[in-house]
A = this chain, B = another copy of it.
């Protein structure tokens, strides 16, 4: 099932957010990504980026400098995730709205009462 395939690739706790940040910013260093995701650990960020790289969504570029610099950006395939991430984000916003709008709940319940 295609839905399952996609979820296997961008699922999990962090990948969606990483992709969102990269779509937003285009190209980010490891530390910049980390700064944009204060709750993720270095370890998890590394693991998730490696996984995204394996699946061909992200490119990792190492600049042989001191101090080391590594930049991440989306591949062409990775960029095709834009509409997916967008819809995930939009629905997240809608959901938060819904939860904080108790006034309309009664009307909603009446709708739900429809029979199959």
Chain B residues in 8 Å Cβ range of A84: 87-88, 91
Q: Does A98 contact B (CB under 8 A)?
A: yes
User: Contact between B3 and A92 (Cβ–Cβ < 8 Å)?
Assistant: yes
Report the Cα distance A16→B17, complex, angstroms.
18
The chain A residues found within 8 Å of chain B, CB to CB, are: 1-9, 11-13, 16-17, 20, 26-27, 56, 59, 61, 71, 73, 75-77, 80-81, 83-96, 98, 108, 111-112, 116
Nearest Cβ on chain B to A73's Cβ, whole angstroms: 6
Report the Cα distance A95→B12, complex, angstroms.
18
User: Contact between A71 and B116 (Cβ–Cβ < 8 Å)?
Assistant: yes
Chain B residues in 8 Å Cβ range of A89: 2-3, 6
